[in-house]
Chain A
Amino acid sequence: MRKTSVAVLFVAFAVVLLLVFSPASSGTSTNPCGQCHLGKYVQHLDVLEGGSAVLSQIGVGETENVTVTIENSVNAVTYSALSGVSVTLASKNGDISVGSPTVNIGSLPAGTEKVTWKITGVSDGYDSLVITAMGVNTHYNLPFSDSYSPSPSIAVGQPTTAPPPSSATNPLSIELTSPARGERWSPGTSHSINWHTNGGTDPLTVTIECSLSTIEGPWTTIAAGIADTGSFAWETPNVTDTLYLRVFAVDSGNPVQDALAVGAVEVGEDTGGLILLGTVSVVLLVVAGLAVIFYRKWRAQTREASGGHAQ
């Protein structure tokens, strides 16, 4: 056997052996990622309802701590950390004031993190707190968000009215359906931002905001308090960057419920396909050119050889 054929077969055999006996040979990826791994990758950013210590009563002028647990739950080891994670605590009715409402956590590895705020009773009444968490997996610019409003409401001071009914029976949720994950929009073109709401008390109002480059904001309002039509036509800005979009829905119930959904879109011209086509064409032309050159050389050699025989 020739050395070259032994080397060729040895390399092929080594590659097959390496792959068959590799740690990933079980057929499942060690870090499947989102839709590109056929839904095997699962990641959620959750405001844990069970892990949130929210009081039921506070006096006017009294200050208490509110502690909330958020979780980055993910079934992968690498690329699992969320970046730009922030948690915001807001009062619905203004009977409670929150010192430093937004807590920036930054990077959140897989697991849980506790966040604590100081809240102060401002005026008599029933109020609710809304906890909103946002973060992004920068590996694919996948934004995550969750919001939670503990029920029942908090009694502030001496409320003169009856406590509002619990809204837990018809919770409001919202899903951003367009832009879809990984979508690319050209700058300065008109696109439809689509969402879908579920639950809550009609009529719902929706606010759409965007942030360039980072999920941490600042957030610019695109549309405020519009009707819940499920769609809004919008012209993309003339930039080439990742654009984060968030949609808030607020219902007309008592207490008021709200829900949040965050999405991302790449704004820029999609030239990758053209460049790839060009590169592939050049490669094919080079291979075809080499084939022609070698064929002509071979033909010349054959003619030369047959001419020599004739002489």
Chain B
Amino acid sequence: MSSHDLNSAMLFVHPPLAIAGYACIFVFTALLFLTRRREAKATRLFGLAAWTFTLLGLVTGMVWAQVAWGTYWSWDPKETLTLMLFVAVSASLALFYEKQWKTAKWASLVSCVLSVVTASSSFLIAGLHSFL
């Protein structure tokens, strides 16, 4: 992708939402691991924020892909990793709501690892997002 392809208002919508999703995943995981009252409002809020931001990042990415590349989904490595991340975040949030603390903790840890892999995939794996 050339720098010209990034000349879009979506540049200020999609990446911030995705990054906010990553950040919230880390805060959610930290709260799950570090706090005793796991049902605290903050943990729930950050879990929900992580899920919402990741979903919005995915959806806005699809909209931008349709505009820029003519297709909303092409199984690009970063797209696929983000989908895996979304599934992992969904699982950890569902487990959290089901009060399966231990499993939720490990699922959120997997989400953290996937966040790092997804974020760094632009630099490591050749694909549509290899423009950085």
- In the complex, are the beta carbons of B4 and A8 less than 8 A apart? no
- In the complex, are the beta carbons of A8 and B90 less than 8 A apart? yes
Q: Is A283 an interface residue (CB 8 A)?
A: yes
Q: A25 with B73: in contact, given A2-B98, A35-B2 (CB under 8 Å)?
A: yes
- Selected from A37, A270, A284, the residue in CB contact (under 8 A) with B23 is A284
- Selected from B42, B72, B95, the residue in CB contact (under 8 A) with A298 is B42
- In the complex, are the beta carbons of A15 and B4 less than 8 A apart? no
- In the complex, are the beta carbons of B23 and A15 less than 8 A apart? no
Task: Please give the residue numbers on chain B whose beta carbons come within 8 Å of chain A beta carbons, in ascending order.
Answer: 1-7, 11-12, 15-16, 19-20, 23-24, 27, 30-31, 35-37, 40-42, 45-46, 51, 55, 58, 68-75, 83, 86-87, 90-91, 93-98, 126-128, 131
Chain B: CB-nearest residue to A285: B23
Report A32 CB to chain B, min CB distance, Å.
Answer: 7
- Selected from B4, B68, B75, the residue in CB contact (under 8 A) with A266 is B4
Report B56 CB to chain A, min CB distance, Å.
Answer: 12
- In the complex, are the beta carbons of B4 and A140 less than 8 A apart? yes
Q: A294 with B42: in contact, given A15-B58, A28-B74, A182-B5 (CB under 8 Å)?
A: yes
- In the complex, are the beta carbons of B23 and A36 less than 8 A apart? no
Q: Is A291 an interface residue (CB 8 A)?
A: yes
- In the complex, are the beta carbons of B42 and A1 less than 8 A apart? no
Tell me the residues in window 257-311 of chain A with beta carbons closer than 8 Å to chain B beta carbons: 266, 270, 272, 275-276, 279-280, 283-284, 286-288, 290-291, 294-295, 297-298, 301-302
Q: Is A233 an interface residue (CB 8 A)?
A: no
Q: Is A24 an interface residue (CB 8 A)?
A: yes
What are the 7 A-B residue pairs with the smallest beta carbon separation, nearest first? Answer: A182-B2, A31-B70, A294-B42, A12-B90, A5-B94, A5-B97, A36-B1
Chain B residues contacting A5 (CB-CB under 8 Å) are 93-98
- In the complex, are the beta carbons of B74 and A141 less than 8 A apart? no
Report B121 CB to chain A, min CB distance, Å.
Answer: 15
Q: A16 with B83: in contact, given A32-B70, A276-B12 (CB under 8 Å)?
A: yes
- Mask of A12-29 contacts with B, CB within 8 angstroms, 1/0: 100110010010110111
Q: Chain A interface mostly helix, strand, loop or mixed?
A: helix
- In the complex, are the beta carbons of B51 and A8 less than 8 A apart? yes
- Selected from A25, A184, A276, A294, the residue in CB contact (under 8 A) with B46 is A294
Report A275 CB to chain B, min CB distance, Å.
Answer: 7
Chain B: CB-nearest residue to A12: B90
Chain A residues contacting B1 (CB-CB under 8 Å) are 35-36
Report A105 CB to chain B, min CB distance, Å.
Answer: 24
Which of A35, A76, A280 has its CB near the most chain B CB atoms (within 10 A)?
A: A280
- In the complex, are the beta carbons of B37 and A36 less than 8 A apart? no
Chain B residues contacting A1 (CB-CB under 8 Å) are 98
Chain B residues contacting A79 (CB-CB under 8 Å) are 70
- Selected from B16, B27, B69, the residue in CB contact (under 8 A) with A31 is B69
- In the complex, are the beta carbons of B74 and A272 less than 8 A apart? no
The CA of A5 and the CA of B35, in the complex, are separated in Å by 21
Q: Is A30 an interface residue (CB 8 A)?
A: yes
Q: Is A181 an interface residue (CB 8 A)?
A: yes
The CA of A33 and the CA of B42, in the complex, are separated in Å by 44
- In the complex, are the beta carbons of A29 and B12 less than 8 A apart? no
Q: Is A162 an interface residue (CB 8 A)?
A: no
